[in-house]
Chain A
Amino acid sequence: MSLILVQVIVGGLLLGAVYALFSSGLTLVWGMMNIVNFAHGDFVMLGMYVAFVVYTLMGGGPILGAPLATLVLATLGVIVYFGLIRDIMKGPMLAQILGTFGLALLLRYSVFWWFGANFQSLPQNIVGGTYAVAGLRIEASRLLAGVVALLVTLGLHLLLTRTSLGSKMLAVAEDATAAQLMGIRPDTMQAIAWAIAAGATGLAGALIANFFYIVPTVGETLGIVAFVTVSLGGFGSVPGALVAGLLIGVIESLSGYLIGAVYKDIVVYLLFLFFLWFRPQGLMGKM
């Protein structure tokens, strides 16, 4: 196999890990509440702007920016839950779609108003440049995002399967009334779920900002990928999002290189539809 082809696959895996990283929050919210968060891409965007502000105001890199973005977005997640989600959950599906979509526009154009429409960018070597290993080039910032993606996926999975908090959250997801009878407060659990999901999304944004451009509308570009990743992986399944992200990343890279970039989305979505034909619940989703 030629070296360039190996580079294509490595690049695809790193890209896929990033896809997985910013999809885990979306799948969690779906798993907990059956809500599709259309503002998800804009949460990623906010995470990117937190990293940008940390850099421009304090000169800080991702060591400061990433935790801060996690914290800011987690707080926002709780506010959004109590201010919007809790009420629209009682409404019809359409209200949920329009509610989160409206939130997306509100966030996008608030940032637009405050920061302007210009493209921003962090310095290229903010996370220590590019490693050259045996002729392959691996960008440190993408590697960092990939490693964090694995850790976040593992962390969320352990949280949901091995801790009492996770069990309580799943109990609420299963049957909120029954959980309440057992002394679990659905409101608290769901607010925690939103905090975790939004926090993970903010973290993803802060890490993606290290190698992507920053603009108020970037959520449109990234949001779509998150939806595809989550539905391929299975709505609600955190490990599913990881596997799906890696798959999509590699397929995109390979088809972009071998067939041509304008066809890569066709390849990805054809395979995606074909797969859903046989397994509508996604790779690891439950029926």
Chain B
Amino acid sequence: MRFKHALGLLSAAAMSLALAGAATAQDKTVKIGVILPMSGGTASIGAHAKAALEVAVDIINNAHPELEKLPLAKNAGLAGLSGAKVELVIADNQGSPATGQNQALRLITEEKVVAILGAYQSGITLTASAIAEKYGIPFLTPESVAANLTERGFKWFFRTTPIAPDFVRIYDQFLTDMKAAGAKTDAIALVHDNTEYGSSVANTIATGFKEKGRAGVIDVAYPVNATDLQSQVLQLKEKKPDVVLMISYTSDAILFAKTMQSLDYKPPLLLADDAGYSDPSFIKAVGKLSQGVFNRSAWAVGPAGSPSAVVADMYKKKSGEEMEDTVGRQMQGFFVLVDAIDRAGSTDPAKIQAALKATDLKPDQLIMGYQGVKFDDKGQNVLASAYIIQLQDGENYVSVWPKTNAEKAPMLPYKGW
């Protein structure tokens, strides 16, 4: 028995030696840490993001001449690092800021990643990026939008997505155009959860709208992952706002749609701030109850053969889902990060940081509808932008605004079911 025990220990030791040996022999791999919600209430987002990033890795690591406009696609691997491949190290944030922070620490100290991408929920990006800042590792968030993330004076933090002040501009112009088209847009209700994302975006929009002379903003807050939303829908029903702006994750977005139908409440104009309303499982679950909802998106599939159409096709093959704004922004952020590593020609964090600061991508080098990627001193992409899309038939979003980018005319009023 004792012999068997010793044998077990020996073979374990041999295996770990073999593994360690493999790691040193393959130092042509660039490890990038990714923090995502793989479990918890927003796990569907994590599953979609994982598929999208795996498609991005395929595009980078293998030769894709059909996508030659995108940086890194044409050749196999990173040209700047003599053909090195990238490898994802995905960590689960479990929907908790504390876990996200621990995972960032683990990725940096144990997995030795050269940079981190993440972490979907703004509240978790807040804590995880603080660790990266402390260790001097670049952290890029492709999708967290809370304004304060880039207001902390961080040196290692970058963000490609449009953020709340951009939304204020987009929504204000959109509502002005809708008013010109005959819709009433005076009383606006901001319906949001109490997370970092919900409350900070609602706050920025409320302040921004006030500055733009939009009075009559009503605030309807609710706790995230609510068991019941009847009283909020009844509040809206009583106050009768012209526009309801939803700032919600998937679970609450679905429950809102169901509750609005059962209490027979339809606002004249329903506008959603991305997040839950872009989740394909929202459309599958309650798309038919939400016909005519407007949504923010920087994603449009584009004509056949365009890089975005090719990428959308690859993503659909991988995940079985339609490509949408959230995974698109995640993929785009990952491309920006890896492009910087490629240009740095090194895995030294300081060189990657310098390359990120020098990023200057043009619209035709992107899969998203940004006007480009260029970071300001705070790490925010100053060329980020978005369209307004609408779920006209309850199954697929079509872009409806601005006019230059519209596939169809906006449909009013909100139809519901």
Contacts and interface: CB of A to CB of B under 8 A. Distances in A.
A117 B234 contact: no
B46 A117 contact: yes
B217 to A, nearest CB: 15
Contact of A257 (B223, B235, B284, B417): B235
Given A212-B255, A252-B228, A262-B194, A4 B237 contact: yes
A261 B258 CA distance: 18
Contacts of B262: 124, 130, 137, 139, 142, 211
A116 B47 contact: yes
B93 to A, nearest CB: 14
B223 A117 contact: no
B208 to A, nearest CB: 22
Contact of B285 (A15, A119, A256): A119
Majority secondary structure of chain A interface residues (helix, strand, loop or mixed)? helix
Nearest to B229: A261
Interface string B226-237: 111111101101
B289 A118 contact: no
Interface stretch (A168-176, A217-225, A236-244, A273-281): A217-225
A155 interface: no
Interface in B303-342: none
B234 A7 contact: yes
Contacts of B238: 4
A213 interface: yes
A146 to B, nearest CB: 13
Nearest to B286: A121
Interface in B249-300: 250-251, 254-255, 258, 261-264, 279-282, 284-286, 289
Majority secondary structure of chain B interface residues (helix, strand, loop or mixed)? helix
Contacts, number: 122
A253 interface: yes
Given A117-B46, A119-B250, A253-B230, A261 B221 contact: yes
A256 B44 contact: no
A246 interface: no
Contacts of A202: none
B43 interface: yes
Interface residues of A, number: 40
A147 to B, nearest CB: 17
Given A139-B262, A211-B262, A213-B285, A121 B39 contact: no
A119 B281 contact: yes
Contacts of A120: 281, 284-285
Contacts of A47: none
Contacts of B226: 261
Given A121-B254, A253-B228, A262 B221 contact: yes
B227 A225 contact: yes
B204 interface: no
Interface in A145-198: none
B41 interface: yes
7 contacts: A8-B230, A121-B258, A124-B289, A254-B231, A257-B235, A261-B222, A262-B221
Given A4-B234, A117-B39, A215-B41, 6 more contacts: A8-B231, A8-B234, A118-B284, A119-B281, A220-B41, A221-B41
Nearest 8 interchain pairs by C-beta = A256-B231, A121-B285, A117-B43, A261-B222, A257-B231, A118-B281, A119-B281, A11-B230
Interface of B: 39-41, 43-44, 46-47, 194, 220-223, 225-232, 234-235, 237-238, 250-251, 254-255, 258, 261-264, 279-282, 284-286, 289, 417
